[in-house]
Structure 1
Amino acid sequence: MKIKQKNLYHLLMVFREVVKQGSFTAAAETLELTKSAISQYITRLEQHLGVQLLIRSTRALSLTSVGYKLLERSDELKTLLDITIDEINNIKQQPTGSLSITVPQALAQPIVLPALKRFNKQFPQVEPKLIVDDGNLDIIKQGIDIAVRVGDLQDSELKASKIGEHQEILVASTSYLSSLEKAVTLDNIKEQPFIATSWQTTNLTHYFKDNKGAEYEVFLKPKFEVNSANIALDLVSLGLGIALLPDVFVKQHINEGKIQAVLGQLTGKKHNIYYVHAYKEKVPLKVKWLIEFLKEAMTNQ
């Protein structure tokens, strides 16, 4: 079934609302339509795309894999449209004032700085304030507009959304590895001086996977303990040992040949990266745009 382009967006938003509400009935109430109309819209969309988007049962709705992908793109489409409309509405009132953002050290340079560069070019009247801190600062009490967080998020009333992920990898300097009499292996890695960040000292056992999915348990006892990912990388560069750091943080140094991945076929845990803010309804345009630039910077990694 061929759907006119102007009607396709409407069907996508109906689909998005059905998933958001969890049922045709709830979506119909929200959109002020009949349940049968909602059902017809979803059927038309599925026929137009030639795929099933929703798995219907008497108890609940669930998404197919294609449905998940379409939901993700529908969210992006709505966000971009909302931003565009806001931009048009505010074309005579470009964002001004301060914009505060907090980010862990390991993500400041690879993610936030490129985003701020793009942001500053488009909105030169805004004055960004960057707080690089590995702690979970109270963004409400400290008046922070947006935070970049890593790992599992605590339940809260804050608005959060995933923008990407990073993976831990073991690294050492090229000079350090070449100075060893024996290559580093799973059997002897515990003999290597481990440069631990403060959040790695409470758990000395780390888990890695190879490219076939097999899992390995590695015990790493800290030789050095630092509270900064930057300092950990500096110690690695000085040839003082190995460290377990985010791939996005060390990517450039690996590309430049300054450091290398240790046990190259093994990778550590994956951690989700989120943006978090406290705005309930009207999110400032400058915050929306920064979020888009953060997503773009993450995609470019």
Structure 2
Amino acid sequence: MKFDRLRRMALFAMVVRHGSFSAASRALDLATSVLSSAVSQLEEELDVRLLNRTTRSLSLTEAGQLYYEKCVEMLSAAEMAEEMVASGVGEIAGRLRISAASDTAQKIVLPALAPLARLHPKLLLDIAVDDRIVDMTTQSIDLSIRTGWLRDSSMIARKLGDLHEILVASPDYLRRFGVPESPDSLRQHRIIGFNRFAEPTTLVLKNAAGENTRIMLPPGAMTDNVSMLRVFAVQGFGLARLPSYMAQRELSNGELVLLLPDWALPGAGVYAVTLKRTLQPPKVRVAIEAISAYLNSLHILPHSSANQVTRPRA
């Protein structure tokens, strides 16, 4: 294979990765004509169309999708080779592409990795925010941080910790519907359903004595985004189960009230997901450790007047 072909393969992969010739041009500091010519020459050499191009959009053909996946593998192998050499001299460097849902990216990934990036100036953080589960191979993702329960057996997942979840509601909602004093009294209430759960409107609670209860409630609203779940709760649409770290400000300022503190929700795991590799690049290993340490540093608000259940005033 000619070395020029390898360069064209890399340019083709970067065009697809960035979604357009113009975006790839800006990222690579190359003229769009150079990128367009490289892709056209590839198509001519392969005698197949790789991209469907219009004035407004760019999409892969079936052959283009297959070829792109192999180009990504080639780029990943090259990047790993560079990282392995860099690791030999103790350097953490290169692009670290991480996928996470918007709330996880803002509340966990960025706070955890910002100190790491400052410590290693040659490390480039590239956080892909997507509430959907992404294809790590085709999108060149080094590390995906997911919460919940994983089902994809083609990935390697390491559990970094558990999200402590709490049941909350706004004072306005509790004025209208009353404060639940026990799990049985929850049946008079509505819940803000979370569409990422298999059972969006079901609560499973357990107390210190080991008693369990399972209650399905009617929805007051539905969403697939945790930040939106919190907004719905503050606006009084119903009860909400939230990771405790996401509700601390609202509990402190009185926008939300903690309910049934003697009953625990099952919570959800936080996982670092990688492709099946025998050796993780140093940048991925240190990122996983940094996120794990940050999760361990998250403190839960103690039960106090700021977050105890109180009957709202009329």
Q: What do the CA deviations read for 1:58-84 (whole angstroms, capped 9, x no partner)?
A: xxxxxxxxxxxxxxxxxxxxxxxxxxx
- The corresponding residue for 1:90 is 89
Q: CA deviation at 1:229?
A: 0.9
Q: Secondary structure at the match of 1:118?
A: helix
In 1, Cα distance between the equivalents of 2:229 and 2:204?
Answer: 20
Runs of 4+ aligned structure 1 residues displaced above 6 Å come to 85-88
Say if 1:183 and 1:151 are closer, same or farther in 2 by CA, change over 3 A. Answer: closer
In 2, Cα distance between the equivalents of 1:224 and 1:194?
Answer: 7
Say if 1:212 and 1:230 are closer, same or farther in 2 by CA, change over 3 A. Answer: same
Task: Name the Cα RMSD after superposition.
Answer: 2.6
Find out whether 1:184 has 2:180 as its counterpart. yes
In 1, Cα distance between the equivalents of 2:196 and 2:297?
Answer: 27
- The corresponding residue for 2:131 is 134
- The corresponding residue for 1:160 is 157
Matches within 5 A, 1:200-279: 200=197, 202-278=199-275
In 1, Cα distance between the equivalents of 2:120 and 2:202?
Answer: 46
Q: CA deviation at 1:94?
A: 4.5
In 2, Cα distance between the equivalents of 1:259 and 1:87?
Answer: 49
Of all paired residues, the percent bearing the same amino acid is 26
The residue identity in structure 1 corresponding to 2:246 is: F
Q: Secondary structure at the match of 1:188?
A: helix
In 2, Cα distance between the equivalents of 1:142 and 1:277?
Answer: 13
- The corresponding residue for 2:96 is 99
- The corresponding residue for 1:173 is 170
In 2, Cα distance between the equivalents of 1:94 and 1:201?
Answer: 39
Q: What do the CA deviations read for 1:148-171 (whole angstroms, capped 9, x no partner)?
A: 122333353422211101233211
The residue identity in structure 2 corresponding to 1:183 is: V
Find out whether 1:116 has 2:113 as its counterpart. yes
Q: CA deviation at 1:88?
A: 7.0
Q: Secondary structure at the match of 1:99?
A: strand
Say if 1:271 and 1:281 are closer, same or farther in 2 by CA, change over 3 A. Answer: same
Q: CA deviation at 1:181?
A: 6.5
In 2, Cα distance between the equivalents of 1:203 and 1:196?
Answer: 5
Contact conserved, 2:146 with 2:273, CA < 8 A, in 1? yes
Q: Secondary structure at the match of 2:96?
A: strand
Could you tell me the TM-score, scaled by structure 2's length?
Answer: 0.60
Contact conserved, 2:193 with 2:200, CA < 8 A, in 1? no
In 2, Cα distance between the equivalents of 1:109 and 1:132?
Answer: 9
Contact conserved, 2:87 with 2:282, CA < 8 A, in 1? no
Say if 1:175 and 1:108 are closer, same or farther in 2 by CA, change over 3 A. Answer: farther
Say if 1:228 and 1:88 are closer, same or farther in 2 by CA, change over 3 A. Answer: closer
Q: CA deviation at 1:138?
A: 1.6
Q: Secondary structure at the match of 1:199?
A: coil
Q: CA deviation at 1:195?
A: 1.3
Could you tell me the TM-score, scaled by structure 1's length?
Answer: 0.63
Equivalenced residue count is 214
Unmatched 5+ residue regions in structure 1? Answer: 1-84
Q: Secondary structure at the match of 2:264?
A: coil
